[in-house]
Structure 1
């Protein structure tokens, strides 16, 4: 029913006060019968109640009847069928100079619906709110809830537009409600569209470190759902927004779920244009997700002094892995597993693997680590190559060295040292910063022990953990390379028996001598001198003691046998000057 107010401008002034005649209290219309409560007027005797009627709320109204019984509280104008009629009442008292005022205007329809504003879960209970019915005769609202046996009334409320249902179970299912307006005659509005609470459910995905949220959609807002907001709180702290979805979406994936943390989730629907909200039930769970490998970084691949290789890596120690496998390659393309080890908890932040199965003839090795977690997920590390040192002994008593750079992720400030080992003596002979360059090591020909020199590279760098940012100083050693300078025979090309160079005596460098033989011939091929002692040279005489031989060119043959059996020979011509 609609209430229509008429404000009369004809109020009379009498005795310094406004004078008026109160109307009956128009209560309602039920089955075309008008009901009212008698008014209180003491200005004069009662004459009648006047009933006015119109088929339009805006009038014009005509007098339908007058009722002379002051105690009357109802009137039946006859069956109006489906015709909508509007009524108001006046009190007719014999009160000269005083103006009657009209009652509320009511129609013969049911009360207008009271549209639900939201059905929301607040502190574990359903809070239902609605907009007031525009019908003025409404005195209360009947709350209905959908149950397994149908729609049943659960309460009738007065003087409020909010209701909290004490027996609903919104944490077990979605609760559905209707609100009907009620007037004093028992008339109720028709049922409007129901509103349902949002029922949230969660599924933990341990292997994905995630929680999947799904919920029932909020229905029957006039403007529809603009969006859903997903909120979470951790360990009882203040909830925070973790994501939003479109109004048509009813699922959300909460990623990077923190292990062993109590997380409580709610979903909030927001109506388009109005901003009205509806909250879901709260779902709390202590997460037990599989801690993933957040980082797996090879930080060093280094030879040891015995030409074995040590591989060192870092990983997050809370990772729930079952085993790891070490892979090796000699071409950085084809990797083969060389070892698999099961995990012993707790993990150390750093782990090490020693490879003693390498082939020294291979120039360079490449390693990577692969972990497998409880869920079967495999994570691979970066590739860690060795530093490979190579070189060659040149014929001019120079050893040339060159090496591959230290190519490892997360390393900065790299510098290289060249270490040289002769016998039991080790020394640093050079340092380089940045990219490596070939190095030439000049061998002392007078130092027989330097004929075999061994070398290795030590790279010093700074490692930065890509996740924690922690720093560490790293020393990386290359393979050990040994170069051997072959013994050499140095022979003069001329000598003067009576001069500054009185004899022909070769010099043997960079080797020890096991056997030695020098033979000199004349131009006819006749042997003129022979010696088995390096210290004994040819003085230009026959067999070293006979007559002086004439000036000229004499062929010679020198043969040296080293202690390891290697033979060094030299043939040439020497000029004898007189």
Structure 2
């Protein structure tokens, strides 16, 4: 290369006009340039002019032979001073120059602090020439002695760039920047700019997506990552009163199960509404402001329930709304599990309002555990937040005692039922159930209000005590008519009497049922004219259900029997009463031998009206030969004081039975000699 200087030469437009393509600031402060041209008229070389931008002094120049298309402007202050550059072609003889090329400016980079702190570097630079568009690559380094890295930290098409400082620059560090312009064949660097910076930038908040309660009763929180690149962890916060407090720190995850029960900040989501926020923390320990999540926190659903209001048989559920689901919650589904069975959806309630109340229409069974839970669901079913599962047992205050203590026949007319209950005030109504067939087929007979005391007796006036025994059970109902408890079955005693001949009668009865081994014995009573007769009652063991009695001297229609079952605490259940049979009985022999084994002929009568007896005997000619109105007096075989001959004699017997009915009987008897 030779340097040639010309001055005052003619400008010849015919010479090729060169095109300045690129100018790049080098580390040593010099400027590298390149250019191009279109060959036409021969010329000798290129003359390049350069001067500081804005200088009014004459521009120095350098020359390159016509074989060059790039070169270096040997200035040393290019890192601090911007230069304007243009060029011409020239000939030595004759001395001519072309028109000026386009003008370029070296790119000067300035670095400043763009933030309120020291965490954002602002980079500004100029274009090489107006309208020269392309991509700008941003390079950064923290060691001035090392070259810039090969990979840029960012790209832009603008003339300004904000570099948000992140780790590892957690303390004040001198950072160096350079911008590289790349367009077509031009790759040009700016000057190097620098400044002292460190990461005091708050990372962006993560975005909460869902809070729910898992099957273990712990809150489970989910969120999307913070977009800040150097975030390496998250802080879960809880709302306490009107403010939030930090609760637990996590790594770079997007979910958290809050089972930290040992922490003083822990809140139980099954006993209170827990409101959560999440903040980000970066590698330099900067924490996000919480501005997003503090405005739009997510909360758990607290479900409560009780079964006491509606007579302990229907569940009333209450819960709060779920806030800030995105998309918003559209409905709340209510689920129930019966006695350990699967979850069944029992209601779908539209969202709206802060609190909800729902009464399960199902009539619940006392003593059975029901599990309820509620889930908030958004319109596209992409988000579901569930409450804790709460157990409800519709179990009213338990009876320490409810029993049909015993039943008994009263006055041979009706049956009384004696009932014990503790506490008695639980009962509003008693249902009496009865069957004459067996204990498994009792049916509702009637209902009766309960007076709130115990024991009580209830009378069954419709019982036909002289026709059958009865099976009874009683059911206690509460004020809503719901069944509280049903007693075991008791059976009354039905007594029967049977003539077994020879003036003997057999009493038989069914066993009293429901006392089991506490049944001690049965007592049999015989009563005449309202007075218990001597020798009675007669006791028989609990397993004996018959008793035979001789009644030859008893007066029918005046003698009755009844049986009582005796429990080991001396409680007694009476049977109906049976009357000694009152049918008139007549036995008359058809022959007799005077002075023989039966020397007197007379009827044997029983159960007749006293004073109504008349017995007459006639011979074959119709003559009356004997009469008597005393049942104890018979015919001795004499006719007017002499022995009647062996023959057939007629008799007539008249009397009234114990009902007053007149009876007449006729017959004959043979007198044997």
Shorter-normalised TM range: 0.5 to 0.7
Task: Measure how far apart 1:301 and its partner are.
Answer: 1.4
Name the counterpart of 1:7: none
**2:479 alignment partner, one of 374, 399, 402:** 374
Task: Measure how far apart 1:312 and its partner are.
Answer: 1.3
- Give the number of the structure with larger relative contact order, counting CA–CA contacts within 8 Å between residues 6 or more apart: 1
1:456 is the counterpart of 2:456: no
Name the CA distance, whole Å, in 2 between partners of 1:321 and 1:172.
36
For residues 220-261 of structure 1, the C-alpha deviation after alignment (integer angstroms, 9 at most, x for no partner) is 9xxxxxxxxxxxxxxxxxxxxx989979999999x8999xxx
CA RMSD of aligned residues (A): 6.2
Which stretch shows the higher mean deviation, 243-252 or 556-565?
Answer: 243-252
Task: Measure how far apart 1:309 and its partner are.
Answer: 2.2
Name the CA distance, whole Å, in 2 between partners of 1:379 and 1:288.
11
1:182 is the counterpart of 2:302: no
Name the counterpart of 1:481: 578
**1:431 alignment partner, one of 530, 533, 540:** 540
Q: How many residues align?
A: 438
What does 1:334-373 align with in structure 2 at a 5 Å threshold? 335-337=444-446, 340-344=448-452, 347-348=453-454, 350-355=455-460, 363-365=468-470, 367-373=472-478
What does 1:21-170 align with in structure 2 at a 5 Å threshold? 48-49=145-146, 52=149, 73-78=174-179
Q: CA, structure 1 residues 415+30, in 2 after alignment: closer, same or farther (shift >3 Å)?
A: farther
Question: Does the CA-based 8 Å contact 2:305-2:316 persist in structure 1?
Answer: yes
Question: Does the CA-based 8 Å contact 1:458-1:478 persist in structure 2?
Answer: yes
> What secondary structure sits across from 1:573 in the alignment?
strand
Q: CA, structure 1 residues 177+30, in 2 after alignment: closer, same or farther (shift >3 Å)?
A: farther
Name the counterpart of 2:550: 443
1:419 is the counterpart of 2:524: yes
Name the CA distance, whole Å, in 2 between partners of 1:29 and 1:412.
96
Name the CA distance, whole Å, in 2 between partners of 1:341 and 1:156.
61
> What secondary structure sits across from 1:497 in the alignment?
coil
1:198 is the counterpart of 2:300: yes
Name the CA distance, whole Å, in 2 between partners of 1:300 and 1:486.
36
Q: CA, structure 1 residues 141+35, in 2 after alignment: closer, same or farther (shift >3 Å)?
A: farther
Name the CA distance, whole Å, in 1 between partners of 2:149 and 2:547.
122
Q: CA, structure 1 residues 523+127, in 2 after alignment: closer, same or farther (shift >3 Å)?
A: closer
Question: Does the CA-based 8 Å contact 1:182-1:189 persist in structure 2?
Answer: no
Task: Measure how far apart 1:288 and its partner are.
Answer: 12
Name the CA distance, whole Å, in 2 between partners of 1:563 and 1:521.
28
Q: CA, structure 1 residues 391+213, in 2 after alignment: closer, same or farther (shift >3 Å)?
A: farther
**2:408 alignment partner, one of 277, 285, 302:** 302
Question: Does the CA-based 8 Å contact 2:656-2:663 persist in structure 1?
Answer: yes
Question: Does the CA-based 8 Å contact 1:28-1:184 persist in structure 2?
Answer: no
Q: CA, structure 1 residues 369+343, in 2 after alignment: closer, same or farther (shift >3 Å)?
A: same
Name the CA distance, whole Å, in 2 between partners of 1:80 and 1:433.
118
Name the counterpart of 1:262: none
Question: Does the CA-based 8 Å contact 1:496-1:576 persist in structure 2?
Answer: yes
Q: Unpaired segments of 5 or more residues in structure 1?
A: 1-26, 39-46, 57-70, 82-105, 221-241, 259-264, 268-277, 463-471
1:520 is the counterpart of 2:617: yes
Larger radius of gyration, structure 1 or 2?
A: 2
Name the CA distance, whole Å, in 2 between partners of 1:119 and 1:328.
55
> What secondary structure sits across from 1:180 in the alignment?
strand
Name the CA distance, whole Å, in 2 between partners of 1:113 and 1:506.
121
Name the CA distance, whole Å, in 1 between partners of 2:248 and 2:625.
143
Question: Does the CA-based 8 Å contact 1:301-1:312 persist in structure 2?
Answer: yes
Q: CA, structure 1 residues 539+189, in 2 after alignment: closer, same or farther (shift >3 Å)?
A: closer
Q: Unpaired segments of 5 or more residues in structure 2?
A: 1-117, 123-137, 154-171, 183-198, 252-257, 326-338, 348-357, 375-384
Q: CA, structure 1 residues 529+266, in 2 after alignment: closer, same or farther (shift >3 Å)?
A: closer
Name the CA distance, whole Å, in 1 between partners of 2:388 and 2:485.
41
1:387 is the counterpart of 2:497: no
Could you tell me the TM-score, scaled by structure 1's length? Answer: 0.55
Question: Does the CA-based 8 Å contact 1:30-1:185 persist in structure 2?
Answer: no
**1:538 alignment partner, one of 629, 635, 657:** 635
Name the counterpart of 2:643: 548
Name the counterpart of 1:573: 668
For residues 301-360 of structure 1, the C-alpha deviation after alignment (integer angstroms, 9 at most, x for no partner) is 1113554422012334165333445566778777543x633533xx43x33224557555
Question: Does the CA-based 8 Å contact 2:504-2:551 persist in structure 1?
Answer: no
**2:418 alignment partner, one of 293, 307, 312:** 312
Question: Does the CA-based 8 Å contact 1:308-1:355 persist in structure 2?
Answer: yes
Q: CA, structure 1 residues 542+523, in 2 after alignment: closer, same or farther (shift >3 Å)?
A: same
